[in-house]
Amino acid sequence: MKRLALALALVLLVFVALSPASLAKESLNVLYMAQAGYQPDDIRAMADLFEFLTGDSVNLTFVKYDEQHEKVVASAVSPVATYDVILLDLIWTAEFASKKMVVPLDKYITPQMKKDIAPAIWDAFTYDGHVWAMPFLANFQLFFYNENMIKRAGFAGPPKTLEEMVEQMKAMKAKGIVKYPWTDSWNEKEGLVCEFVWLTGAFGGDTFDAHGKPVFNTGAGLKALEFMVSLLKEGLANPKCLTNDENAASDDFVSGNAAFTTNWTFQYGLMNDPAVSKVVGQAKMGLIPVAKAELGKSKYNTASVSGFQGAAIMANSRHKDLAWKYVRFVTSPLVQRAFLTEMPVWTSVQESAYAQTIDKTLPIKSKEIASVHHRPKVPPYPEVSSILQRYIHQALEMKMSPKAALDKAAAEINAVLARPK
């Protein structure tokens, strides 16, 4: 009944907002990922309502995250766009904008819209002074822990520092509570870079400086990789981490085979779903711990990584006006209010009494999202990330020392960034 009431409210909103011209029947092709974030059923429900209201059709294509970039690039070079609307990861903003693969959205964005979304989220989709995607998914990582395992190990509550977490994991392992207390997504994919970014933040630094130059091979970045390697060497991290993606790491945790992990916001719903989770009532969500030396240096004593996603319009789309109406609809505050499985991008929705009542975790999420660290906004990001993934993974496989691996990665990335544009 609640969803029906919200749908009716959306009907009233959109019928007032849509112009008569938009009622001509057209067809949109939309590319979305079937991984973290809003799940396909929710995206289909949003599209169904848009179709009902406009009479136009929405053809959805769902692919794994790793397949998105290649499909967008292929669509961009086609005489006719394969996709009109795409889900744009913040790490692609510079590349897609510099190559004019998507269109700037500045003319559509009002001052009121700008004011109601945090500057850090807008910044993720801004390049060369223009906005290239409408914020849609405020994804970021959070800390997930098994409260029952913590108490069985003799501790009162979750760790606030990485050192406390290691202490708790060692106690759990010694008492036979869980064989590998830590699980994560450390396969040689983009998720590995995300884990490295938040851990570097937890040790008080960033992977790249303000000018987009790598600084991860000294200081906080080196400490982060040394910490990851130590978890494997001490048998605290599951060896499966090296092949896990985010979904596999989530499966480990919800199956009761891990005490701690970090993951994107989607895991909260899964761990509380009795149809898939063995840790309902035991699993909790909190702020990601930082190194003890970093306590008191940031507002919330936590660090995370941003995974913001935006809805963008392809430059070679023949239906740009309709594409914007679809983008504006699915990213609207009222639609996000109806689908609170993910963190809404709108501050007004986050702070609303309704959202606070439905999602009791919003205070935690608000602190974590305020503590995110970003991956670099550089046009050759896919190549930069691939280099970083490769050398971090070699260090985790014990084929290189953390210092040697990061020095090599920094040298190769500097060479890529120095190439003529």
Q: In what order do the strands lie in the sheet with 27-33?
A: 57-63, 27-33, 85-89, 309-313, 134-137
For residues 157 and 142, give the distance between their C-alpha atoms in angstroms, rounded to a whole number. Answer: 17
- Say what percent of the chain tops pLDDT 70: 93
Whether residue 132 contacts residue 157, with contact meaning beta carbons closer than 8 Å, is answered with no
Q: In the prediction, which pLDDT does 37 show? A: 67
105 vs 359, which has greater pLDDT? Answer: 105
Closest CA to 261 of 178, 325, 190: 178
For residues 359 and 149, give the distance between their C-alpha atoms in angstroms, rounded to a whole number. Answer: 25
For residues 250 and 35, give the distance between their C-alpha atoms in angstroms, rounded to a whole number. Answer: 12
Q: In the prediction, which pLDDT does 8 show? A: 43
How many residues belong to the chain?
421
- CB neighbourhood size of 352 (10 A): 16
What is the 3 state secondary structure string of 244-301? CCHHHHHHHHHCCCCCEEEEECHHHHHHCCCCCCCCCCCEEEECCCECHHHCCCCCCC
Q: In the prediction, which pLDDT does 182 show? A: 98
Section 111-132 average pLDDT: 90
For residues 339 and 266, give the distance between their C-alpha atoms in angstroms, rounded to a whole number. Answer: 12
Give pTM, 2 decimals. 0.81
What separation in angstroms does the CA of 293 have from each of 31, 204, 228, 237, 297? 43, 9, 17, 23, 9
Highest mean pLDDT among 117-121, 232-236, 330-334: 232-236
- What 8-state DSSP symbol labels residue 308? -
Checking if the pLDDT of 152 tops 90, the result is yes
Checking if the pLDDT of 2 tops 70, the result is no
97 vs 74, which has greater pLDDT? Answer: 97
Question: What domains appear along the chain, each with residue ranges and CATH number?
Answer: 2-139+306-373 (3.40.190.10), 141-305+380-418 (3.40.190.10)
As to burial, measured by CB atoms within 10 angstroms (0-12 exposed, 13-18 middle, 19+ buried), residue 371 is: buried
- C-alpha triplet 16, 18, 22: angle, nearest 5°: 155
Encode pLDDT of 226-281 as tens digits.
999 999 999 999 999 999 999 999 999 999 999 999 999 889 989 999 999 999 99
Q: In the prediction, which pLDDT does 262 show? A: 98
Section 51-68 average pLDDT: 80
Whether residue 36 contacts residue 65, with contact meaning beta carbons closer than 8 Å, is answered with yes
Coil vs helix vs strand at 25: coil
For residues 139 and 344, give the distance between their C-alpha atoms in angstroms, rounded to a whole number. Answer: 9
Coil vs helix vs strand at 114: helix
- Say what percent of the chain tops pLDDT 90: 56
Q: Which residues pair with 60 in a beta bridge?
A: 30
Amino acid at 357: T
pLDDT classification of 22: cutoffs 50, 70, 90: very low
Whether residue 183 contacts residue 244, with contact meaning beta carbons closer than 8 Å, is answered with yes
Encode pLDDT of 198-232 as tens digits.
999 999 999 999 888 999 999 999 999 999 999 99
Q: In the prediction, which pLDDT does 35 show? A: 60
For residues 302 and 159, give the distance between their C-alpha atoms in angstroms, rounded to a whole number. Answer: 11
Amino acid at 153: A
Q: In the prediction, which pLDDT does 40 show? A: 78
For residues 343 and 140, give the distance between their C-alpha atoms in angstroms, rounded to a whole number. Answer: 9
For residues 409 and 202, give the distance between their C-alpha atoms in angstroms, rounded to a whole number. Answer: 21
Which residue stretches of 265-306 are H helix? 266-271
Checking if the pLDDT of 15 tops 60, the result is no
- CB neighbourhood size of 58 (10 A): 23
- CB neighbourhood size of 380 (10 A): 18
Whether residue 217 contacts residue 407, with contact meaning beta carbons closer than 8 Å, is answered with yes
